[in-house]
């Protein structure tokens, strides 16, 4: 083999390696985007689980006791207002976006009304939400996706805060 042929072979191998690297980088970017979309779906599911657990706690007040929101998340695991504790959540779920156990809490006074992710990352999903999450449309960060149970406050059962709209009331921040 001549030096010229070896040089061409080396050049061909380098071009192949460069093209393979570019293709691999595109696959990694695509995988990261897909992984973020999966975490968004998990956040929508888990956030709704918390919202529904708070709603069940509120409406699950024993006969003769006033309806009230829980004071903390642990009360969603074991409602001790009953002789046999009632569970509204199987476990406290971590935040799918941050991976941590710490959620932002939406509070009305000293009572827990909802949760939100503490991630400041921009969501991929910007539209096409179910009605319960319609308030998430065009939000700038996951932190703006608040999963809040709106307490009925009027005589006709409607709430002052529109039902199923993500609104923060006294968010607890570090």
Instruction: Name the token pair of 133.
Output: 């999450």
Contact 56, 88 (CB under 8 A): yes
3-class DSSP assignment, residue 174: coil
Confidence of residue 155 (pLDDT cuts 50, 70, 90): low
**pLDDT (mean) for 132-137:** 93
Average pLDDT of span 158-162 = 47
Dihedral pair phi/psi, residue 170, rounded to 5°: 50, 60
Q: Is residue 30 part of a domain?
A: no
Identify the domain containing residue 146 by its residue range. Answer: 40-172
pTM of the model: 0.74
**Has residue 156 been placed in a domain?**
yes
Mean pLDDT of 128-152: 93
Instruction: Please give the sequence-ordered ranges of beta strands (E in DSSP) within the chain, or none if there are none.
Output: 104-108, 111-116, 146-148, 171-172
Residue 16, domain member (yes or no):
no
| Bridge partners of residue 111, in order along the sequence | 108
134: its two tokens: 């319609």
Q: What is the pLDDT of residue 154?
A: 61
Residue 7 domain-assigned?
no
* Total number of domains in the chain: 1
Within a domain: 21: no
């Amino acid at each position: 083999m001549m030096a010229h042929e070896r040089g061409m072979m080396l050049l061909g191998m380098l071009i192949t390696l460069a093209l393979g690297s570019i293709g691999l980088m595109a696959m990694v970017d695509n995988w990261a985007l897909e992984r973020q979309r999966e975490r968004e779906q998990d956040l929508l599911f888990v956030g709704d689980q918390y919202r529904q657990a708070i709603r069940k706690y509120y409406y699950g007040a024993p006969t003769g006791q006033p309806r009230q929101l829980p004071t903390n998340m642990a009360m969603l695991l074991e409602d001790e207002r009953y002789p046999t504790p009632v569970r509204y959540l199987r476990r406290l779920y971590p935040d799918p976006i941050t991976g941590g156990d710490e959620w932002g809490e939406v509070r009305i006074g000293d009572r827990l009304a909802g949760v939100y992710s503490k991630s400041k990352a921009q969501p991929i999903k910007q539209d096409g939400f179910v009605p319960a999450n319609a308030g998430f449309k065009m939000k700038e960060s996951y932190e703006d996706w608040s999963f809040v149970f709106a307490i009925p406050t009027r005589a006709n059962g409607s709430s002052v805060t529109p039902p199923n709209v993500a609104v923060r009331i006294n968010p607890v921040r570090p």
